[in-house]
Structures are given as C-alpha cells and as structure tokens.
Amino acid sequence: GPDFGEGSDRSSDGPPMGHANSLGPQVADQSQVKGAAIAAVQAALRAATITKNKFHKTKMCSYFLAGRCKKQGHCNFAHCPEEMMPVPDLACAKLCPAVLTCTDPRCKFAHSKEELKEIKQQRAQRAAMLAQQAERYLAEASDEDGPRFSH
C-alpha cells in the first residue's frame, strides 16, 4: 500500500491544520448569502412549475447534506431551507374507489365530482397565493440587497 510516512508529500494536498482555510470556503459577505438564497428560491419555483412532481423539493437532499449530490440544479430535493416547498395536500385528490358504499368519516377520498372540482379550485387558489408570497419575498429580498450607504 501507499506509504504516508515522514517523506510523503501527502500533507501538501491541503492547507496545514489550523490554517484559516482548513474549515472550507467561507462566504465573504452577507449580500452573497442573500443572493444565493434568492437564486435558490427562484430556481425552486421554476423547477416546481416545470416538473409535475408533487413532492419536488419537499425534503432536504441527504446526498447534498453528506456532500455527495451530483445532480446540482437538477435535484428533486432541496439543498437549503430556502428551497423547501410545502408538502402537497393529498386529501381528496381522487374519487373514492368505494364511492357508492363508503361510510368511513375519515376517508381521504372525494365522494362526488363536485367535491373534486371544489378541491382542485382551492388548490389552484392556494398555489396562486404561494406564488404571490414568493414573488413578494423575492422583491423584498432584492430591495434589501441595494446599496444602503455611500462610501
């Protein structure tokens, strides 16, 4: 096997212990963090509208958290809390298979076409409201990034 003893140049692969960069890259200023968060939210919104995956970015990416996600911008999982999307409400998303005989008060299915239509309208309204909230958040965040002081 390889010898990593005293004569080895393995220690030159990275910064010496205790060096400022030994903790990894550090963010230079707060505006970079905000810019990255805004970009993440915008990307998540675009991806959620493009894909039909109802669970798009509703969970954190375990591979990213471990430093191993290779999908980058194409990952269906969130890489930061700002990318997280709300879990969809799946109650009554379909007509009950036992619609004519179902008596379960806790049944998670719709029991008429009218109920299904009403639920779809409510979901569309909720999605529009979330989109408006995200747009307001992005507008406020980009306003905060503007220059505040002249030097």
Please indicate, yes or no, if residue 110 is contained in any of the structural domains: yes
| C-alpha neighbours within 13 Å on the C-beta side of residue 118 | 8
Considering the domain architecture, whether residues 81 and 51 belong to the same structural domain is answered as yes
- At 88 the pLDDT is 72
Both tokens assigned to 124 = 């569309």
Residues 119 and 105 in one domain: yes
120: in domain: yes
Residues in a beta bridge with 110: 95
Look at residue 50 in the predicted model and tell me its pLDDT. Answer: 47
Percentage of the chain beyond pLDDT 90 is: 13
**Residue 135 in this model has a pLDDT that exceeds 70:** yes
Per the CB < 8 A criterion, the answer to whether 76 and 56 are in contact is: yes
Decide if pLDDT at 26 tops 90. no
Q: Which domain holds residue 52?
A: 29-87
Judge whether 1 lies within some domain.
Answer: no
> Structurally, how many domains does the chain consist of?
2
Does this model's pTM top 0.85? My answer is: no
In a domain, 132, yes or no: yes
pLDDT averaged over the chain? 72
Residue at 47 is within a domain: yes
> Which span out of 44-48, 91-95, 102-106 was modeled with the highest average pLDDT?
102-106
60 occurs within a structural domain? yes
**Cα–Cα nearest to 76, from 63, 58, 90:** 58
Q: How many CB atoms lie within 10 A of CB 130?
A: 14
Is residue 11 a part of any domain in this protein? no
122 is a domain residue: yes
Question: Does one domain contain both 67 and 54?
Answer: yes
